[in-house]
């Protein structure tokens, strides 16, 4: 805060608060806010009914009652700061009310401060990510023998996969994409009522939370035997994904990893069908920095964790994506997901 000329930090909903003090605010209309003054002990302002969930931490607790005005409490604790950094996901209504109460204060985003901390994972965080990845890998290993695809809806398959995620040690499932046949051409397809048929290519992209940290993995399956065009496209994506992994090293830029994966797909003639960045950071949130996108010249450092997930999306036909979570280490790369990357056949 001192380095950045910030005299007050206000941290509310989102992952910054659990990262800093181990408590996650409910994303409610009631205000939870950690008030960090550069010259005073931090204070956690919470609704009184949430106070029992708060474990002791490096802060003083200030519960507020249903008839109190929590914005006024925060403003009083704040004093008269010149520059306040406020969490990116704080509800606009609280920021607007605070701006009214603190007219002399300039508000800036908190993320530039917290991202410099969160972008490099500590060893315990890497182990938490590895545990989440291993859990979702066990789900993928069970899918071919335990989940029937043919003749069932995407929604039914997705429900089975979510059950497996919980059985394999996730506290919660965060998302469950099952995109069959032509629906696979939409990268974030919402599983629906389409009945899966023999010969369909099916993109399965799922993730959840385990010990607070996220898993996120994609494999592409085929129901029965793959048509040759599906096998060919899958081979291109697999080569692109491998090229992305092989490009990762300390000092290489995030954009260079994207370029390495993209080049394989472009060279095979599918460049216009790879319609998203190659990857995203992961930690307490499924999507966080660093982003592996063209033009990002951020150099990779040990401890950075992110996905590598190239895909090819052929409108009206099918899609293919392969995704792993990896961590940059001093001696290269640690791949957290080890599940079979081939075009696995399911029934």
Binding site for Zn ion (CB under 5 A): 205, 216, 218, 307, 323
**Pick 70 or 321: Cβ nearer Zn ion:** 321
**Pick 99 or 174: Cβ nearer Zn ion:** 174
**Pick 81 or 279: Cβ nearer Zn ion:** 279
Three-state secondary structure call for residue 90: coil
Instruction: Supply 233's token pair.
Output: 């496209």
Measured from the CB of residue 310, what is the shortest distance to Zn ion in angstroms?
Answer: 11
Instruction: Supply 164's token pair.
Output: 């497996």
Residue with tokens 């909903």, as numbered in its chain? 13
User: Quick one: DSSP state of residue 309?
Assistant: -
**Pick 125 or 205: Cβ nearer Zn ion:** 205
Measured from the CB of residue 323, what is the shortest distance to Zn ion in angstroms?
Answer: 5
- Name the nearest CA neighbour of 287 among 303, 310, 306, 311: 306
Phi, psi angles (nearest 5°) of residue 121: -80, 140
Measured from the CB of residue 286, what is the shortest distance to Zn ion in angstroms?
Answer: 7
Measured from the CB of residue 164, what is the shortest distance to Zn ion in angstroms?
Answer: 16
**Pick 32 or 241: Cβ nearer Zn ion:** 241
SS3 content of the chain, % helix, strand, coil (to 5): 35, 25, 40
Measured from the CB of residue 118, what is the shortest distance to Zn ion in angstroms?
Answer: 17
Helix ranges restricted to H, the chain: 16-21, 70-78, 92-101, 111-118, 123-146, 154-167, 228-247, 254-267
């Amino acid at each position: 805060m001192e380095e950045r000329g910030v005299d007050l930090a206000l941290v509310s909903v989102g992952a910054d608060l659990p990262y800093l003090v181990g408590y996650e605010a409910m994303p409610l209309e009631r205000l939870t806010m950690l008030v960090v003054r550069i010259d005073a002990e931090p204070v956690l302002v919470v609704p009184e009914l949430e106070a029992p969930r708060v474990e002791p931490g490096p802060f003083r607790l200030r519960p507020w009652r249903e008839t109190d005005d929590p914005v006024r409490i925060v403003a009083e604790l704040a004093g008269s700061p010149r520059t306040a950094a406020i969490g990116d996901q704080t509800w606009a209504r609280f920021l607007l009310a605070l701006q009214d109460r603190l007219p002399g204060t300039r508000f800036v985003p908190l993320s530039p401060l917290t991202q410099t901390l969160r972008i490099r994972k500590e060893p315990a965080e890497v182990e938490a990510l590895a545990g989440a990845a291993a859990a979702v890998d066990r789900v993928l290993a069970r899918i071919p023998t335990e989940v029937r695809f043919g003749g069932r809806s995407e929604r039914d398959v997705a429900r089975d996969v979510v059950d497996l995620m919980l059985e394999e040690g996730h506290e919660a499932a965060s998302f469950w994409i099952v995109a069959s046949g032509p629906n696979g051409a939409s990268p974030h397809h919402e599983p629906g009522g389409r009945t899966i048929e023999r010969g369909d290519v099916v993109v399965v992209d799922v993730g959840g939370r385990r010990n607070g940290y996220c898993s996120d993995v994609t494999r592409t399956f085929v129901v029965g035997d793959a048509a040759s065009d599906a096998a060919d496209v899958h081979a291109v994506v697999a080569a692109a994904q491998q090229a992305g992994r092989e490009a990762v090293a300390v000092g290489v830029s995030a954009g260079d990893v994207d370029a390495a994966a993209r080049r394989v797909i472009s060279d095979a003639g599918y460049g216009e069908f790879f319609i998203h960045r190659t990857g995203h950071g992961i930690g307490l949130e499924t999507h966080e920095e660093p982003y592996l996108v063209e033009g990002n010249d951020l150099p990779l450092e040990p401890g950075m964790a992110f996905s590598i997930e190239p895909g090819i999306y052929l409108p009206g036909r099918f899609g293919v994506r392969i995704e792993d979570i990896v961590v940059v280490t001093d001696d290269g790369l640690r791949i957290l997901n080890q599940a079979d990357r081939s075009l696995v056949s399911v029934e």
